[in-house]
Structure 1
Amino acid sequence: MTKRNKIIYWIATCWLALGMFSTGIVQLIKMKEETDAMTLLGYPAYLLSILGTWKLLGVIAILIPKFALLKEWAYAGFFFAMTGAIVSHLVIGNGAKELFGPTLLLVLTIVSWLFRPESRKLQFN
């Protein structure tokens, strides 16, 4: 892995971890704005606890060394959660302001996954 790719990976991964951690905490404490947003999107409030827990566990999975299969699951979960958020916002007609966060996290998920080092990839023998 080149130095450039390693830098890209760690910048994307750190920002992804920060974004997922902060939104996971907001969802777990069920801030009023977050609960209102989920209601507007048509989802039950208890989904916040599920998403928040998954996000925090996913952050741990992508940051710790080894456990490549677990990392793949975490990246997949982040991908599905963010594409689901984007589609949900589009369906109810939300604009760029509401789409920015999940779109940024989706891009960071993809960049982090694409640039991850060999030691963090599944090895097929």
Structure 2
Amino acid sequence: MSKRNKIIYWVATLWLSLGMVSTGIVQLLKVKAEVDAFTHLGYPVYLMTILGIWKLLGVIAVLVPRFPLLKEWAYAGFFFAMSGAIVSHITLGDPVTQILPSLLLLTLTIVSWYFRPAERRVHVKTLQPAF
């Protein structure tokens, strides 16, 4: 992996982690502005606890060495959570300013996943025919 790709990976991953930790904590603490945003989108408040815990666990999974399959699941969770938030905002006709934070985190998720080092990737063995 080139030095440039390592820098891109770590910058994207650290910003992604910071964003997920901060929003996860805000959701766990049920900050009023976040509760208002969730109810505006039509989601139950208890979902904030689930997402907050998953975001914190996802950050741990992405940052710790090894466990590439767990990392894939964390990236998938981040992707689904952020793309779901974007679609929810668009569906309600919210202004772009409310969509941008989720779009930024989605972009960071994709960049971090794409530039992750080989030791952080799942290596799939090719299947050989039985005959």
TM-score range, shorter chain: over 0.9
Q: Displacement, 1:69? A: 0.2
Aligned pairs for 1:51-90 (under 5 A) are 51-90=51-90
Q: Distance in 2 between matches of 1:122 and 1:39?
A: 37
Q: Displacement, 1:58? A: 0.2
Q: Tell me the residue number matched to 2:38.
A: 38
Q: Tell me the residue number matched to 2:102.
A: 102
Q: Distance in 1 between matches of 2:111 and 2:95?
A: 24
Q: After superposition, give the CA deviation of every residue in 1:18-71 in whole Å (9 maximum; x if it has no partner).
A: 000000000000000000111110000000000000000000000000000000
Q: Distance in 1 between matches of 2:64 and 2:45?
A: 30
Q: Displacement, 1:123? A: 1.4
Q: Tell me the residue number matched to 1:17.
A: 17
Q: Displacement, 1:124? A: 1.9
Q: Tell me the residue number matched to 2:128.
A: none
The percent of aligned pairs where both chains have the same amino acid is: 66
Q: Tell me the residue number matched to 1:49.
A: 49
Q: Counterpart of 1:65 in 2: which secondary structure?
A: coil
Query: What runs of 5+ residues in structure 2 fail to find an aligned partner?
Result: 126-131
Q: Distance in 1 between matches of 2:92 and 2:38?
A: 12
Query: What runs of 5+ residues in structure 1 fail to find an aligned partner?
Result: none
Q: Counterpart of 1:30 in 2: which secondary structure?
A: coil
Question: What one-letter code is carried by the residue in structure 2 that aligns with 1:8?
Answer: I
Q: Displacement, 1:96? A: 1.1
Is it true that 1:116 corresponds to 2:119 in the alignment?
no
Q: After superposition, give the CA deviation of every residue in 1:54-91 in whole Å (9 maximum; x if it has no partner).
A: 00000000000000000000000000000000000001
Residues paired across the two proteins, number: 125
**Root-mean-square deviation (Å):** 0.5
Q: Distance in 1 between matches of 2:54 and 2:82?
A: 13
Q: Distance in 1 between matches of 2:86 and 2:61?
A: 23
TM-score of the aligned structures, taking structure 1 as reference length: 0.99
